[in-house]
Each structure stands twice: as C-alpha cells, then as structure tokens.
Amino acid sequence: MTYVTLEDLKALIQERDILDLTNDAGTAADLSDPDVAAILADVFDQASQEIDAHLAAVADVPLASPPGIIRQLAARIARHRLYQRRPNLGDALKPAAKDYEDAVALLGRFASGVLKLPGTIGGGPVVAGDSGLAVSARPAHFGDAFWKRVP
C-alpha cells in the first residue's frame, strides 16, 4: 500500500516540475504517460516502504488507514526521491533534501515513541479532519497548588 498519491505530491511541487523530473525520454506530454506513471509508482512505493521501516516498531504496517501526517511525510519523501533522479540540478536539490531530512527526523520521533500515531497504543482514536499528529508531554512541574501560593 502506498501512502502518497499524485495529488499529495502536487501539493508540494508543480505538475510541470513533476513531469520534468520523471520524463527520462523527453517524449511524455503529461503525467499519464506510462513511463512517467511507472516512475511515479516506484517513487511512491519507495517512500511508503521507508515509512513502514520507521513505523514497524510502533505500529502494524502497512497502515490500513494512514493519518494525514503520514501522507504528508510520504509526499515529502517522494519529492526528494524525484529530485535525486536529477543530481545535476545542484542547489535546486537542497530544499527537497532538507525537507526530506526533517521528514525522516519526524518519523524517527514516531519510531522512538516521542510522538504517537492515532490508532496505535497511546495514540488515541483517529478523528475526522485530524492531521494525525499526536504529541506527548511530561507532567507539569508546577501544579495548581503551587500557583495558588504565588503572590
């Protein structure tokens, strides 16, 4: 199961750029070209497998109903994979690479248990319209009793 769709990717990168990054032969007119579609399917699969590798420690993968945050992270990883196909782009690769590093760091926080996925142990239920991001925090150091004593 892939966690990213073409629409998710289009939210991050223009269709024209997606075509430029996938049109190896230079003959594709649009994203429906079979060669372009095959490259996108492969990139989407790579992104999903990378996410599954991170989340396998804390959730049953593949996720049957991935929360929005996972779809967003998959799109960011897929975008990076597309840019990796064109190493000659130089500095144009840097924003996608930084975004990829941030996405992997966030996945690491899910894997370590700092952040919880909805539907996993301690993650709570998935709520319609929820971004899918759940945050845990330490108990407050100063409770109500302390603050009542402060003038």
Q: Where does the pLDDT of residue 126 fall: very low under 50, low under 70, confident under 90, or very high at 90 and above?
A: very low
pLDDT-derived band at 136, boundaries 50, 70, 90: low
CA distance 116 to 54: 13
Q: Is residue 145 part of a domain?
A: yes
Instruction: Tell me whether residue 24 is in a domain.
Output: yes
Residue 93 has a pLDDT of: 85
Tally of structural domains, the chain: 1
- 1 inside domain: no
pLDDT of 12 reads 95
- In this prediction, residue 92 carries a pLDDT of 82
| Dist. CA 65–CA 70, nearest whole Å | 10
Of 109, 51, 55, 110, the C-alpha closest to 80 is 51
pLDDT in tens, 24-53: 988 899 999 999 999 999 999 999 999 999
Q: Is residue 47 part of a domain?
A: yes
- Binning pLDDT at 50, 70 and 90, where does residue 135 land? low
Question: Which residues span the domain enclosing 137?
Answer: 6-149
Does residue 67 lie within any of the structural domains? yes
Query: Which is it for the CA torsion 18, 20, 25, 26, positive or negative?
Result: positive
Residue 124 reports pLDDT greater than 60:
no
In a domain, 100, yes or no: yes
Q: Is residue 126 part of a domain?
A: yes
In this predicted structure, what is the pLDDT of residue 25? 87
> What are the percentages of helix, strand and coil residues in the chain, rounded to 5?
55, 5, 40
* Percentage of residues of the chain with pLDDT beyond 70: 87
